[in-house]
Amino acid sequence: MQKSAFIISTFALLFIHSVSHGASAFNGCPSNAYLIQTPSSSPMTYSVDLATGSYSIKSNNMGTAKVNGVGFNLFDSYMYGWDYSAGTLALIGSDYQTVPLNVNGLIGKPFFVGDTALVENAWYGYRPNYGLYRIALDSPFSQLTLEHIATHTFMGSPSITDFAFRPGDGMLWAVDNNGYLIRITPSTGKTEVITQVLSEAEEGFNFTFGAQYFDIFGNLYISNNGNGYIYRIGINGVNSKAYFFTYGPSSSSNDGARCAMAEIEISEEIDFGDAPESYGTSMASSGARHALSSLYLGSKVDGESTAYVHPLSDDNSDGSDDDDGIIFISGFAVEETSFIQIQASATGGYLNAWIDWDADGSFDADEKIASAIPLTDGYNMLNVTVPVWANIGDTWARFRISTKADILPIGGVGNGEVEDYLVNITENGVGTIHYPSQTSFTTFAFEDLYPATGDFDMNDVLMNVRITEYIKDNRVIRIRLDGQLAAMGASYRNGFAMQLPGISPNNIKGDSIALWVDGTRSENEILEQGQSDAVLIVSDDLWAWVEAGESGCKYFRSETGCGTSYRTQWTMIIPFINPVAPASMPARPYDPFIFARPGSYHGDTVSAIIGNHPGRAFEVHLKNHAPTDTFNTLLFGKIDDASSAGSLLYFLTTNGMPWALELPMNWQHPKEGRSILETYPQFSGFAGDSSGQTNPNWYLNDNANTENIFID
């Protein structure tokens, strides 16, 4: 048919439908699927968002006893299905009411398997013991005829309860009630069994797939009548496999239709997890996801249109940490009981949770720590015993809340939230203390123009750090530092290190210190020689970790549009030779500092005082934290600095302004060249009061000139 003839034919059909039957067509090619069920005496129509499984009722009564074999027709934007009361094919418009059509050659039996073609204007139906039939819909409605294509014997009597036309190949596809993928040639009825994509023994329940439909990419979605589980199958010949995709409504009478040329839309009103992809996190892996609702964990939930898989979590990307519903009151030690506090936003939700005890990158059935536990509004407690077979070290936990009681660690749910956490499993008898908490970071912000205040934008280095102390028999046996580089607004080359005041380097087993950067173990020397207190070098050149970003960018995440939301991740393990009493440990957060990369220039001011390549002689520490032994004290008292070692005053101006700050992780730092004094006007009062009582909340956005702060 020529394009002009197709347009005329389509217009004629629309005219006939609207005038003769009073039914209006659907608007275009809807993304949602339509599920038709008959829970009692009248069929109902649901609109199902396949991305999350959330659904809404479009019609409580379709005006007949039962409808089945429904398909969405691209040629006129109506649905067609078999009307059991009228005993014929019916047109279904956007009011979800059936309009019976006059069809010649009826066999006196209803069709519960049917769909509309994509390359021709026709409806196809299959009836067990009868075979495959076709009704051409481009004929005048007064001349519709049921045409027999093939007998059920020729087709091999497939045990199917629905089928669907696939975009691209024009073939009918189905998954039968034994989990086998089947392909049917519509012109002849030739039926081929491709491969088994699901096993009842593996899934643990019986199959009846009454609703089956495609998306524009050729993925087949099948809905199981018994439990509402929706599976997705990427058609790939004998390698095809069905994966659980989302939850939907269940019913013994189940049929579905969808515009096959539409994508599955993913809105920003979906909450994804952010564990590594092996756990099922993104849409591609049928990851855990929830449609936003009033039910969530913690005090807030945010949405995103895609999963930000670890280490690029959604919290890092938007600066909003909504993983705030789980508090680990105690650590996880093998064979010991751990205590977890769960905050729910409302009563009526159920908690399902998993911890990957064997750290194999997946959540197995025997790793489920909470199954359909009802939660009340506010705080709830969960006790978990760490199994004897748990592996020591880092692993992941997943917590999900929804009104659906028992759910899997993957797949979409129509409400609630998913929160993923990196946790650490220790030996028996070992406890942990975390700073600032097990699930959050503190931020260190540095200005590297010391001893001049310079632009004082406090964004030259921004480093997020979490400290974990491991305690056995009331002694600290090792330290763990977790960090991520948040911003680099410096043209100078800076390194980052941690000093442990009061801890002798001789009490650290240097050859057992481990440093991983983005998952790769560093071969660099970490414990610095010749220091009175232990000094641990994380990096001697932070610019080696990041790039500024797009063309025209000079810095990383301090200029608008420059630098991705990704943050280089690092972890350092520091074992003690002799366990340290808590009273002998340095106060947290210890002593983080930056230093000049050895062999690099660090400005005319520093060059004039201590040389062109200051290296480890140049350091910047938090206010009133003493430098290391390698620092050149000739910098004290120069330019804007008012340090006095005799008075134990370090790295501050006469007005109390520091060159380094500790702040909450979600602090919005100043843009490049915007002074912190202009960006946060209350800061000067805070810095000038040694008691810390003046303007303690100076760093909050509400107290900022927001046009000066950096936002991704």
Tell me the residue ranges of DSSP E strands in 386-474.
Answer: 393-402, 412-413, 417-426, 430-435, 442-446, 461-472
- pLDDT score of 357: 95
Could you tell me if 186 and 77 lie in one domain? yes
d(CA 619, CA 596): 7
Q: Tens of pLDDT along 677-700? A: 999 999 999 999 988 899 999 999
Distance CA 342, CA 326 (A): 5
Residues 447 and 394: their CA atoms lie apart, in Å, by 33
Domain boundary among 198, 226, 257: 257
Same domain, 543 and 661: yes
Structure tokens at 76: 């006129």
User: Mean pLDDT across the stretch 345-368?
Assistant: 95
How far is residue 663's CA from residue 711's CA, in Å, rounded to a whole number?
17
- CATH number at 109 reads 2.120.10.30
Rounded Cα distance between 660 and 603, Å, is 18
The count of structural domains within the chain is 3
* One domain for residues 234 and 124: yes
- pLDDT over threshold 80, residue 312: no
Average confidence (pLDDT) over 485-507: 96
Amino acid present at 10: T
The residue from 428, 443, 473 where one domain ends is 428
**Mean pLDDT calculated for residue range 383-400:** 94
Is it the case that residue 281 has pLDDT exceeding 50?
Answer: yes
Pairing of strands 461-472, 442-446: antiparallel
| pTM attached to this predicted model | 0.74
53 and 139 co-located in one domain: yes
pLDDT at 75 over 60: yes
Task: Tell me how far apart the alpha carbons of residues 103 and 482 are, in angstroms, rounded to a whole number.
Answer: 71
218 lies in the same domain as 296 = no
Considering the chain, what is the average pLDDT of its residues?
A: 91
Per-residue model confidence (pLDDT) at position 248:
82
Domain around 620: 435-676
CA atoms of 704 and 712, how far apart (whole Å): 17
Place 318 in a pLDDT band, splitting at 50, 70 and 90. very low
DSSP bridge partners of 44:
37
pLDDT at residue 321, as a whole number: 61
| Cα separation, 165 vs 71, whole angstroms | 9
156 and 248 both lie in a single domain? yes
Give yes or no: residues 364 and 504 share one domain. no
One domain for residues 410 and 440: no
Contact between 453 and 684 under an 8 Å Cβ cutoff? The reply is no
Q: What is the DSSP letter of 707?
A: G
- Residue-wise pLDDT for 127-169, tens only, equals 999 999 999 999 888 889 999 999 999 999 999 999 999 999 9
201 burial via Cβ count (<10 Å: 0-12, 13-18, 19+): exposed
Do 283 and 151 fall within a single domain? Answer: no
Share in percent of the chain as helix, strand, coil (round to 5): 15, 35, 50
How many alpha carbons lie under 13 Å from residue 691 in its C-beta half-sphere? Answer: 3
Q: Which region holds residue 352: left if phi is over 0, alpha if psi is between -120 and 50, else beta?
A: beta
Reply yes or no on whether the pLDDT at 18 is more than 80: no
Report the distance separating Cα 77 and Cα 263, nearest Å.
16
Structure tokens at 431: 């406890």
Sheet holding 113-116, edge to edge: 103-104, 144-150, 131-136, 122-127, 113-116
Q: Is position 682 within any domain?
A: no
pLDDT in tens, 51-70: 888 888 999 999 999 999 99
- When pLDDT is averaged across residues 459-488 and rounded to a whole number, the result is 95
